[in-house]
Amino acid sequence: MKFTARQIANLIGGTIEGDENVTVVTIAKIQEAEPDALAFFANPKYEAMVYTTNAGVLLVNNDFVPKESVKSTLIRVPDAYLAFTGLLEYAQKLLLSLKVGIEQPSFQSEGVKMGDNCYLGAFSYLGTNVKVGNNTKIYPQVFIGDNCEIGNDTIIYAGVKIYAGSKVGSHSVIHSGCVIGADGFGFAPQPDGTYKTIPQLGNVVIGDHVDIGANTTIDRATLGSTIIKDGVKLDNLIQIAHNATVQENTVIAAQTGVAGSAIVGKNCMIGGQVGIVGHITIADGTKIQAQSGVNYSTENNAVLQGSPAEDRSKHIRNLVAFRQLANMLTKLNTLEKQVKALENQQ
C-alpha cells in the first residue's frame, strides 16, 4: 500500500518539513532506505546518515536540528523510535488483516466456535469445544486440544502445539515450535528405585498481550494452573515448569528455566540462561543477570548475579577479589619463605 507523508503524519500526530505529498510503500533502515521507503532517526551516533540517506520520509525527534541539508521529507514527533514502532505495529496489522478464512485441509472437531475474521491455516487441528475469538490468526500445522480457549486478536504461528484445557488471552503471540500444556515433570520415587508418573491434571492459563518466543515450553499444572499473566514477554527456548506463575509485565530472556511452583513477580527482568529453583518467590522488580542461579526467595527490586546468585554489587567485589587470588597466593608464598628464613636465623 502507498502512503503519503501527510497520511503518515496524521496517523502518528507528527509535523511535516518538506513535500507532504511524497509517497512511500515500505519501511527500511536509514542506511538502506530507497526513495520509496520510510526510515527513522533517534540515536545521535547515526546523525551522519541523516544527510546521506535516500529515504523518502524520515521520522525525527522534535528537538533535532540539522547541521546540513536533508534530502528526505521530515516528520517531527516527540519520540521517533516510539513512533516508528507504532508504524511497524500498524503495518503488521494491515498484513494480518489480509489473512482471513479457513484453508483446506484442516480439521475442526464437534463444538468448535470461531469468531469473526479469523484465519485457520492448512493442516491445523482444533479439538472438541475449542473456542477462538475474533480476528485471531492460526497458522498451518497448529494443534489445539479439546476445550482450549483462544482470545481475540491473538496470533498462533505455524507448528504450535496447545494441549487440552489451555487458555490463551487476547492480543497475544505464540511463535513457532512452542508447546503449551505438556505434562509437568512429576514422578514419585518407588522403593525399588523406579519412578511412578504423577498424573498432571491441571492446565496452562496465558493472559493478554503476552509474547512467547519460538520453541518455548510451558508445562501444565499437576493440579490448578501454570499461569503466565498479562504483558509477560518470553524469549525463545524458555522452560516454565508445572504450577509456576509469572506475574504481569515480566521479561525473560532465552534459555532460562523456571522450576515447578516458583513464582516470578511483576516487572522483573531476567537475563539469558538463568536458573530459578522451585517453590521460591522472585519478588516484584527483581533483575537477574544472565547465567545466574537463584535458589532463594528475593526482596523487591533486588539486582542479582552469580551462581548461587547474590547482590550484584557484592558479586562484583567478590569477582575482583577472586581475580587477585593468584597474585595474593604468590605474595603469601613469598612471605612464608621470608618468615622461615627469619626463624632459621634465630
Greatest alpha-carbon pair distance for the chain in Å reads 98
- pTM here is 0.83
Same structural domain, 61 and 128:
no
Per-residue pLDDT of the chain (346 residues; tens, 9 = 90+): 789 999 999 999 999 999 999 999 999 999 999 999 999 999 999 999 999 999 999 999 999 999 999 999 999 999 999 999 999 888 887 877 778 999 999 999 999 999 999 999 999 999 999 999 999 999 999 999 999 999 999 999 999 999 999 999 999 999 999 999 999 999 999 999 999 999 999 999 999 999 999 999 999 999 999 999 999 999 999 999 999 999 999 999 999 999 999 999 999 999 999 999 999 999 999 999 999 999 999 999 999 999 999 888 888 887 777 788 888 888 888 888 888 888 888 7
Report d(CA 93, CA 173) in Å as an integer. Answer: 13
Q: Strand 310-311 vs strand 303-305: parallel, antiparallel, or unpaired?
A: antiparallel
Q: What is the DSSP letter of 326?
A: H
In the prediction, which pLDDT does 313 show? 80
Q: Tell me, yes or no, whether 28 lies in a domain.
A: yes
Length reported for the chain: 346
- Containing domain of residue 62, as a range? 3-97
Same structural domain, 7 and 143:
no
**What is the domain-level CATH number for residue 51?**
3.40.1390.10
Distance (Å) of CA 28 to CA 2, 35, 123: 14, 10, 34
Name the domain count of the chain. Answer: 2
Same structural domain, 214 and 269:
yes
For this structure, is 242 an active site residue?
yes
Tens of pLDDT, residues 193-211: 999 999 999 999 999 999 9
Q: Is the dihedral of CA 210, 220, 239, 278 positive or negative?
A: positive
**What is the domain-level CATH number for residue 141?**
2.160.10.10
CB 234 within 8 A of CB 252: yes
Same structural domain, 136 and 285:
yes
Q: Tell me, yes or no, whether 343 lies in a domain.
A: no
Q: DSSP letters along 28-69, please?
A: --TTT--TTEEEE---GGGHHHHTT---SEEEEETT---SS-
Report d(CA 304, CA 258) in Å as an integer. Answer: 16
CB 185 within 8 A of CB 242: yes
Tens of pLDDT, residues 25-45: 999 999 999 999 999 999 999
Catalytic residue chosen out of the listed positions 171, 175, 209, 242 = 242
